[in-house]
């Protein structure tokens, strides 16, 4: 079974600084999707960014970017110019592209605190 | 935002009582999922559906059943609630092949 590991239960960053959240995964598949979801105190799960394994280029969405290292099975999220609104729990997730069911496997999350 | 609602949003019940949670979507997506979220565990899949009356078990399905009689509704039932089922429950939907899942607002269930 696929597993997703987030080794940092908590992280903190000063406003306007940059922070990187780590994620590793284990799979025998070669084609898959990776995601970062954000869960603020409102509890709503919000998709932040998505990476397709067959694409070499790292995905970016405004201040959010990923460092995807396929051989190392690593998928880190970089948040630039951190804002107070970035404070949330962040979940890394994996989905097997070959599966039409599209189920997600989640890590346990990293709680990000942003200091003013 | 994807049109997903969950009801109720909060519920407190007693051990041994049946509970049904409802997920309703307006997106006409084929795939629907139920997850539970517990501290230290992230989100874990309970059941999923790939069409009307087509459902299957996830990794933590014991004590839960589901039904999907219409594309827009996916029901999660706890036949006899236990304290270990105290959790936050999320419904999610996805398009045919995009694998991106969009989540409902969650239901906080407390079993006393």
At residue A46, φ and ψ (nearest 5 deg) are: -120, 125
> Mind listing the pLDDT tens digit for each residue in B10-67?
999 999 999 999 999 999 999 999 999 998 888 999 999 988 999 999 989 999 999 9
pLDDT at B1: 55
> Mind listing the pLDDT tens digit for each residue in A1-55?
679 999 999 999 999 999 999 999 999 988 899 999 999 999 999 999 999 998 8
Q: How many Cα neighbours within 13 Å face the side chain of B75?
A: 11
Task: Select from A44, A102, A104 the Cβ nearest to the Cβ of B105.
Answer: A44
CA closest to B104 among chain A residues: A44
Per-residue confidence band for A102, with pLDDT thresholds at 50, 70 and 90: confident
Is the link from the previous residue into B5 a cis peptide, with omega within 30 of 0?
no
B92 beta partners: B33, B103
Q: Verify whether the Cβ–Cβ distance A102 to B102 is below 8 Å.
A: no
Q: Verify whether the Cβ–Cβ distance A45 to B94 is below 8 Å.
A: no
Per-residue confidence band for B2, with pLDDT thresholds at 50, 70 and 90: low
At residue A28, φ and ψ (nearest 5 deg) are: -100, 0
Angle at B81 between CA B79 and CA B83, to 5 degrees: 160
Rg, chain B, Cα only: 13
């Amino acid at each position: 079974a696929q597993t997703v590991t987030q080794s940092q239960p908590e992280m903190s960053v000063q406003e306007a600084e940059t922070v990187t959240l780590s994620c590793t995964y284990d799979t025998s598949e070669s084609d898959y999707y990776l995601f970062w979801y954000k869960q603020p105190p409102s509890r709503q799960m919000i998709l932040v960014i998505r990476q397709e394994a067959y694409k070499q280029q790292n995905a970016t969405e405004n201040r959010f970017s990923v460092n995807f290292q396929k051989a190392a099975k690593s998928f880190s999220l970089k948040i630039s110019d951190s804002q107070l609104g970035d404070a949330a729990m962040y979940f890394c997730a994996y989905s097997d592209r070959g599966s039409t069911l599209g189920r997600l496997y989640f890590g346990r999350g990293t709680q990000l605190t942003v200091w003013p | 935002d994807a049109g997903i609602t969950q009801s109720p949003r909060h519920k407190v019940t007693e051990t041994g009582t049946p509970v049904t949670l409802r997920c309703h979507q307006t997106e006409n997506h084929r795939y629907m999922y139920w997850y539970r979220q517990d501290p230290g565990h992230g989100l874990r899949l309970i059941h999923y559906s790939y069409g009307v009356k087509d459902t299957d078990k996830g990794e933590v399905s014991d004590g839960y059943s589901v039904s999907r009689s219409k594309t827009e509704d996916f029901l999660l039932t706890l036949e006899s609630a236990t304290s270990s089922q105290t959790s936050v429950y999320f419904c999610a939907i996805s398009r045919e092949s995009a694998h991106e899942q969009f989540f409902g607002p969650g239901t906080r269930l407390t079993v006393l």
